[in-house]
């Protein structure tokens, strides 16, 4: 029998540290671009909140637990790299406001509370590439299978409402194409390596958006 070309490869230490170094580089670029934008106009709370949220996420990558098994396929790496670096591509300048600053800020705060709570439950199992780090079914994971991505979505809507441009909208749209691919590959790994995942999927039906997907 020929090996499955989509089977995830076991990760090595070099891959682990390259990913962490890349996340650290992106964090530096993000702080420089969005930090400068906030310092130039400190009434732009959405800029500061996005900076805090993304820096926290990238920081978690630096202390994440090594995966039992990680998907190192070219597609998984491509979409993961984009999901890490997308925020550095966003432009905090040359934007228009489709909604007041307070509304975008409220959505970003709701987003942060939601995905922070999911990350607390997940602990050091949080990571970049689709991987097997154990099955988590507590907290927000009782309601949706990928609550962190759902939290990001709420925040990105808030950010775009106040910092809209065609460039930013395109970057976020491509991000969620990448996120859906990541979701599918993460679920494939969990299904192949966790006997309880099929039962979990029956109990928690929705992947990303309740009642839709």
The CA-based angle 54-208-8, given to 5 degrees, is 80
Kindly list the domain boundaries of the chain, sorted by start residue: 13-203
- Report pLDDT for 64: 63
Look at phi and psi of residue 94 and say left if phi exceeds 0, alpha if psi is from -120 to 50, else beta: left
Find residue 132's DSSP bridge partners.
69
- Report pLDDT for 65: 62
Cβ atoms of 78 and 54 closer than 8 Å: no
CATH topology of domain 13-203: 1.20.120
- Report pLDDT for 27: 76
- Report pLDDT for 171: 96
CA distance 162 to 99: 6
- Residue pLDDT tens, the chain, 213 long: 333 444 444 445 666 677 777 777 877 888 888 888 889 899 999 999 988 888 777 777 666 666 556 666 778 778 888 887 888 889 998 899 999 999 999 999 999 999 888 888 876 556 565 555 667 778 888 889 888 899 999 999 999 999 999 999 999 999 999 999 988 888 887 777 777 788 888 888 899 898 888
Q: CA nearest 126: which of 52, 188, 65, 50?
A: 65
- Report pLDDT for 131: 58
């Amino acid at each position: 029998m020929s090996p499955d070309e989509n089977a995830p490869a076991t990760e090595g230490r070099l891959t682990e540290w390259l990913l962490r170094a890349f996340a650290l580089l992106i964090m530096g670029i993000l702080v420089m671009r969005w930090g400068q934008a906030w310092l130039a106009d400190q009434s732009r709370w959405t800029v500061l909140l996005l900076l805090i949220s993304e820096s926290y996420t990238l920081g978690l990558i630096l202390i994440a637990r090594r995966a039992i098994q990680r998907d190192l396929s070219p597609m998984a790496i491509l979409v993961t790299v984009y999901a890490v670096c997308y925020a550095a591509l966003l432009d905090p300048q040359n934007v228009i406001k489709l909604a007041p600053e307070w509304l975008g800020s409220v959505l970003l705060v709701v987003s942060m509370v939601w995905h922070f709570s999911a990350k607390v439950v997940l602990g050091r199992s949080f990571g970049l590439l689709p991987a097997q780090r154990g099955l988590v079914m507590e907290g927000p994971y009782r309601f949706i299978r990928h609550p962190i991505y759902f939290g990001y979505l709420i925040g990105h809507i808030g950010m775009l409402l106040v910092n809209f441009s065609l460039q930013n909208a395109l970057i976020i749209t491509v991000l969620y194409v990448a996120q859906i691919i990541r979701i599918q590959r993460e679920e494939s790994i969990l299904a192949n390596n966790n006997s309880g995942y099929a039962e979990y999927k029956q109990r928690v039906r929705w992947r990303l958006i309740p009642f839709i997907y």
